[in-house]
Amino acid sequence: MTTTEIREALTEVQHAVEIPPVDQVAFRARVRAERRRHFGGRVLLAGAAAVVLAVGAVGATHLVDAGDGRDVPVASGAAPEVRSVPETVWFVRDGHLTALDPSGTVHELGLRSEGVIGYTSERVFALDEESHVVALGREHDHEGLGRDTGYPKEDSPVVGAVQSVAMSAEGRYLAWLDLQGTVTVFDLVADRVDFRVEVPRSSYVAAVSGEGVLVSENVDLVLHTADGESAVPTQEAGDNWGAQLAQGKVLVAGPSGESHLYDLRSGAAHRTAVLPGGDGALAPYAYAAATIETAPDDSAVVNVWDGKATHPLRGLDGVPEQIRFTNDEPLTLLVQTRGGSSALWSCSTADLTCGALPVPDGTFQLSE
């Protein structure tokens, strides 16, 4: 059920029966959870992992027919490659904010969280269980061991609970929709408000970047800037919840299991590509994208688009559920899969191989 459909149902009930006003914080939390359940969630991994180090052997793969004439690789029962990360990454595990540092140590931070908003190499922004934006810093050893030594709480620029929130891929901009219907875009580097804009009811912040803030307004997707707004013609799209924004380009889910890429740089939105798979991620500098292509039997493959063609990833063991690019060069893609249990993977977009991250089993949530 979409946000609009939930809203319309609630409105009909309110017209028929006099009931108290809707708790906006609780409502938005339920909508976020329902969206994650249906669409797999999206993780915003800003500034994580510069070069991924391989410390094991690559698991064998075999090819199967994807159902459209393409052969795609599927991991066999061989032990997967294990990889580490040179920068700390954050996620929610079993309802608690958790960090994986470069030494391979998993840190549970003791904060119940609705999800990670975004992070850089030095701090993370996350939602607590009451939809407040929390900021934590990162302290680490200086002996080259890669182990984090603490995560002190920092001041958050957001006062009060939010309906929705997003952070730009490079970690500079934070945008949120408050309970009064105002979207604020905050420059974290300059430590100041960039601009504010009032939006209609039933809106939420989908993404933010240096180009502006992308807001889903009912069924419309609108890019707001300090100087005005421009519409992204996505009425035919399947869902705006996980829309991605970078370098004047927008990636949004289509109605039939595909993703649509739009270019806004001319001042008007032009669709430039249609990619297989409806759960997508746009690279921070928009010269690559990735999608999860699901087959009728619920098996799935991750396709990486290099601007010209799509190529399937190799070495994943399990069904991919969530994907997001890191902000490193060369590009790295983090993937959550489910099989017998959930697992996190680090995948190279250069050679299209994946290795498992040393994270214990659990119920994962990579984004708010």
278 vs 301: CA distance, rounded Å: 12
List the one residue out of 210, 211, 158 whose CA is nearest residue 183. 158
Q: For residue 274, give the 3-state DSSP assignment.
A: strand
Return the pLDDT at 340: 67
List the one residue out of 39, 58, 49, 106 whose CA is nearest residue 334. 49
Sign of CA dihedral 83, 84, 85, 88: positive
Q: Look up the pTM and report it.
A: 0.76
Contact 290, 303 (CB under 8 A): yes
Return the pLDDT at 332: 78
39 vs 243: CA distance, rounded Å: 12
Largest CA distance in the chain: 66
Q: What is the CA radius of gyration of the chain?
A: 20
Contact 166, 206 (CB under 8 A): yes
20 vs 16: CA distance, rounded Å: 13
Contact 20, 93 (CB under 8 A): no
Structure tokens at 40: 């797999």
18 vs 324: CA distance, rounded Å: 43
Contact 157, 174 (CB under 8 A): yes
239 vs 228: CA distance, rounded Å: 24
> How far apart, in Å, do the first and last CA atoms of the chain sit?
18
Contact 253, 278 (CB under 8 A): yes
Return the pLDDT at 241: 73
Mean pLDDT, consecutive 10-residue stretches, the chain (368 aa), reads 48 45 49 44 29 28 36 45 78 91 90 92 93 94 81 96 93 95 97 96 91 88 90 66 86 85 82 88 89 91 93 92 77 80 86 90 76
186 vs 192: CA distance, rounded Å: 6
Rounded to 5°, angle at Cα 252 from 88 and 132:
50
Contact 75, 61 (CB under 8 A): yes
Structure tokens at 1: 């059920």
